[in-house]
Amino acid sequence: MASRSVNKVILLGNLGKDAETRFTPNNVSRTTFPLATARRWKDQQTGEWREETDWHNVVLWRSENIANYLTKGKQVYVEGRIQTRSYEDKDGQKRYVTEIVADDIILLGGAREADVPAAADYDQPRGGMASAPRNAARPQPRTPSAEDEPGLPHGVTDDDVPF
């Protein structure tokens, strides 16, 4: 019988600090940043809401173009895998590091229009793919004319309709 395994991580959180990009000796970019995820629950004994924050070290290979948009506080969606590696510190002690190696990153909300990168900035291959913020492709609402909707007052747009 063949064995199967899955190593898949999906995170939605906020950056703890600006992303840093460094290059390997072979000139391959490695972008890293800490990502905070939080969960809330109601304490059954006290009835109070409690919150716990977890921090994840995220690594993104070959995507230096997106690093300028990964700034402290931005909300991002990350898909990838967990990887644990070891190294020896300066005292000869073996240390372990667990990281999330990102395959896909999507920038979410909070972007000002000046922060939205051009589509040409996202020509990354799979393994370092990034997507534009959701509001980047949204068409600008136009002001309706009197012949479009004679029953609506001037200045009402599709954004004013609650559904």
73's tokens: 């506080």
Distance of CA 48 to the CA centre of its chain: 30
pLDDT at position 127 is 41
Count CA atoms closer than 13 A to 37's CA, side-chain side.
Answer: 12
pLDDT of 13 above 80: yes
Q: Minimal CA–CA distance to 70: which of 20, 141, 145, 136?
A: 20
The CATH number linked to 94 is 2.40.50.140
Q: Is 115 inside any structural domain?
A: yes
Domains of the chain: total:
1
Looking at per-residue confidence, does 121 or 7 come out higher?
7
Domain that holds residue 28: 9-136
Angle of CA points 136, 140, 143, to nearest 5°? 170
Output Rg (C-alpha) for the chain, integer angstroms.
22
3-state secondary structure of 14: strand
Q: Is residue 158 part of a domain?
A: no
Spatial distance between the Cα atoms of 132 and 59, rounded to a whole number of angstroms: 19
Digit-coded pLDDT (tens) for 128-150: 444 444 444 444 444 444 444 44
Cα angle 71-68-126, degrees, rounded to a multiple of 5: 105
Residue 23 counted as domain residue: yes
Judge whether 128 lies within some domain: yes
Lowest mean pLDDT among 1-10, 14-23, 96-105, 106-115: 106-115
Position 153 in a domain: no
Question: pLDDT for 148-161, tens place per residue?
Answer: 444 444 455 555 55
Q: Name residue 32's beta-bridge partners.
A: 20, 59
- pLDDT digits over 58-105, tens only? 999 998 788 889 999 999 999 999 999 999 999 999 999 999 999 999
147 inside domain: no
What pLDDT sits at residue 139? 42
Q: Is 113 helix (H, G, I), strand (E, B) or coil?
A: helix
pTM of the predicted structure, to 2 decimals = 0.62
